[in-house]
Structure 1
Amino acid sequence: MLDIAEELDRWVEQGRDFAVATVVAVGGSAPRRPGAALAVDTDGTAIGSVSGGCVEGAVYDLCREALADGEPVLERFGYSDDDAFAVGLTCGGVIDVLVTPVRAGDPVRPVAEAALATAATGGAAALARIVGGPAELLGRALLVRPDGSPEGTRGGGHEGGFGAHPELDRTVAAEARAFLDAGRTGTLEIGARGSHCGAPLTVLVESSVPPPRMIVFGAIDFASALVRVGKFLGHHVTVCDARPVFATRARFPEADEIVVDWPHRYLERTEVDARTVLCVLTHDAKFDVPLLRLALRLPVAYVGAMGSRRTHLDRAERLRDVGVTERELARLRSPIGLDLGARTPEETALSIAAEIVASRRGGTGVPLTGAHTPIHHDLPVHPTARIGSVA
C-alpha cells in the first residue's frame, strides 16, 4: 500500500472509497515484491501494480468485489493453478495478494489514512497488517512510529491495533520497528501461543522511510549525469565540492542539495546510514585520501571512487599510508562502476548506478542471457521473523 502512498493520499483527501490489493508473499520468478500494491476506487480508476501486468485484470475484479461487499480477501495466483494462463501469470511464480476495502466507516480506514499521510510526506512509519489467520482478523492494521508507539484501528468492540490482545499489539510493534530501522518490508510468522488469540498469524510489515541518500563528491560533468540517474533511482542526492565556481545550482539543477566544503569535512558532519551511497568522482589525492579514509569506516551501503587502474593503485597506497586497513580497502569499489564499455558521462553514470543496484540486490552484473542465476534475488537483510511457538 505504501508504495503508492502519494496517489492514495490524494484519494483520501478527495474523500474517495477504494480497495487496495497488496502482494503479501511471493515464490519463484515473480516480478513484484511484497508491499507492491494496486488500488481501485468506486469509479473504477486503478493505480499501481501487483504483477507487472500478469494478473492485473483478475486483481482488479477482486478489488471491485471487495468495494461492493466490504470483505477483505486473500487470493493466491500461481503457475500451479488450473487457470494460470487465463489470468495471465505465466512467469512461473506464485504471488499471494491481500485485497482490503478502505471505505468510510471501515475499521482500517483511520490507520490507513495516517499511514498514507506519513508516507506521502516522506515520513517514517511501519504499517503492520494481518494477512494470514482467522478471517475476522484479516486486514486489521497497526501503524508504528519510529519511537515504537503504535496507532491502531478500532473495531469489533476492541481498543487497539488488532482488536485481539494488547500483548499482540506490543509484540508486533516491537518487531515492526526493527523492520522500520532496516527500511525493509517483510512478514512476521507468529505462532498460536505468541498471537494470544489461539491461532497462528502472518503479519505483513511495510516500511515507509525517507529516500536513501546519494552523496556525489566532485562537481564535474560526470557528476551531473550521476545526479540525474540517482534521482531516477529514488535517491536524495547531494553534490559536494570545495570549489564554489563548480558547485553551483546552474550546473546541478536536479540535485537536492549542493554543498561547498571540503568533502571529508562535510562527511564528518552529515548524517549517513546503512542505505547511503558515496560516489567519489574527484580523483584528486588531496580530496580523495582524507575523504575515503573516513568513508571506508562508516556503516554505509556503498563507497565508490573514480579513476584509472593506475590511479586506484596509487590511491590505495596513499590510503594504506594513513592507516586504512586491507579489510577497509576491500570495501572500496574502484575503479567505480561495472564494465559496460562506458565513455560518455551518461554511460558512466549508468555503469555506476548498475553497480550500486547490483551491490544492493546481490546481483552478479553478468548478462542474464545464458546465465543460470535467479532474475529476482535480494540480499538477505532480515529473515522472516517467527514469534512464539505453535501450541
Structure 2
Amino acid sequence: MNGGNETVAVFEEVVRLQRAGQPCVLATVIASRGSSPRKAGAKMVVRGDGTSAGTIGGGKVEQEVVRTALKSLADGTGPVSATFVLDETFGHACGGELTVQIEPLGGMPRLVMCGAGHVGQALTHLAALAGFRVSVVDERPDYLAPERLPEAAEYFNGDYAAGVASFQPTEADAVVIATPGYASDLTAVKAALATPAGFIGVIGSMRKKETLFKDLAGLGFTFADLERLTVPVGLAIGGNSPPEIAISIAAQLIERRYRA
C-alpha cells in the first residue's frame, strides 16, 4: 500500500471508530532525522484494545507509542509529542530520530432521541449533520422506517425506558425526549435519570415543567435529579414549527459540546 492510500485507510478507520462511539488515538510522525523507518506524515491509529491500523515504523518504537496511546486514553490526557532516538534501545543502530504526536480522539458525541415524530425526525437529521451519532427510540414501528430517519445510526422499537437503557448513555451523551404524550415522556425521563447522561432535555412548556417536576418529586426524585433536566429544551431563538424547534435544540446541543 502506498503512503497516500495508507493515510486514507487510517483516516477511514478513525471515522469508523468514531461513528461506532469508540475512542482511539492518532499517532503521526511529525519530524524525522537521519536514517529512520518512516518520514514525517506517516500515521497509525491505535484502537482501545491496543490493536492498530497503519504504521509509524514497527518494532519497539511502535510498541512504545501504542503503550503511550493506551495510557493517554486511560488518563484522559491531551495530545503529547515524544521523540525517540533510534539506537540499540529500540532495536536500531542507525542513530536517527523520530518525533511522534500522539493525539487521543473521542468517539462521536451521541444523541439518544426519544420520539421520532416531526421534531424527532428533524432533530435526527440536524444532529447527524452536526456530527452526532443518533440513536432513536419509539414505540411506533412505522415511525422508525429507515426512509424517515436515514441518518440515524441505530433504532429501538419498544418501550422508551427499555430503549434508553439499551443505549446506555454516558456523561458525554445527550438524551432528548419528545414522545407522543406526557406519560411516555415521564417514562423516558425516569429512565434517563437512571443513567449518567450528561444532558437530558425535554420538549414542552413551563407549565409542563411544573407538572413534570411535581410528579418526579412525588416519585422520590431529588432536587439534584431535577437539576439535571433541561425543560423546555432548546435555545430561545423564536419559532414554534417542528423544524424551528429542532434547530433550537440542535443549537443547544452544539453549544454544550463546545462549552464542555
Q: Please confirm whether the aligned pair reaches a TM-score higher than 0.5, indicating the same fold.
A: yes
- Conserved 8 A contact 1:187-1:202: no
Q: 1:191 to 1:121 in 2, by over 3 A?
A: closer
Q: 1:309 to 1:283 in 2, by over 3 A?
A: farther
Match of 2:234 among 316, 327, 337: 337
Aligned equivalent of 2:68:
172
- Conserved 8 A contact 2:124-2:134: yes
CA distance in 1: counterparts of 2:144 and 2:165, whole angstroms:
22
SS at 1:247's partner residue?
helix
Higher mean Cα deviation, 340-349 or 130-139?
A: 130-139
Shift of 1:280: 0.4
* Aligned positions of 1:1-391 closer than 5 A: 102=3, 112=7, 115-122=10-17, 124=22, 125-131=24-30, 138-139=40-41, 141-150=43-52, 153=55, 155=57, 159-162=59-62, 166=63, 168-178=64-74, 186-189=78-81, 203-205=101-103, 207=105, 209=107, 211-244=108-141, 247-249=143-145, 252-256=148-152, 257-282=154-179, 284-362=181-259, 379=260
Shift of 1:302: 1.8
Higher relative contact order (Cα pairs below 8 Å, separated by 6+ residues): 2
Once the two structures are superposed, what CA deviation does each residue of 1:225-274 show, in whole Å capped at 9, x if it has no partner? Answer: 21221221133333322244x62428824353443312112112233333
SS at 2:201's partner residue?
strand
SS at 1:143's partner residue?
strand
Letter in 2 for 1:222: V
TM-score by length of 2: 0.75
CA distance in 2: counterparts of 1:217 and 1:255, whole angstroms:
15
Once the two structures are superposed, what CA deviation does each residue of 1:29-62 show, in whole Å capped at 9, x if it has no partner? Answer: xxxxxxxxxxxxxxxxxxxxxxxxxxxxxxxxxx
TM-score by length of 1: 0.52
More helix by share: 2
CA distance in 1: counterparts of 2:140 and 2:232, whole angstroms:
24
Question: Across the two proteins, how many residue pairs are aligned to each other?
Answer: 244
Shift of 1:340: 0.2
- Conserved 8 A contact 2:28-2:56: no
Query: How many percent identity over aligned positions?
Result: 22
> CA RMSD, aligned part only?
3.6
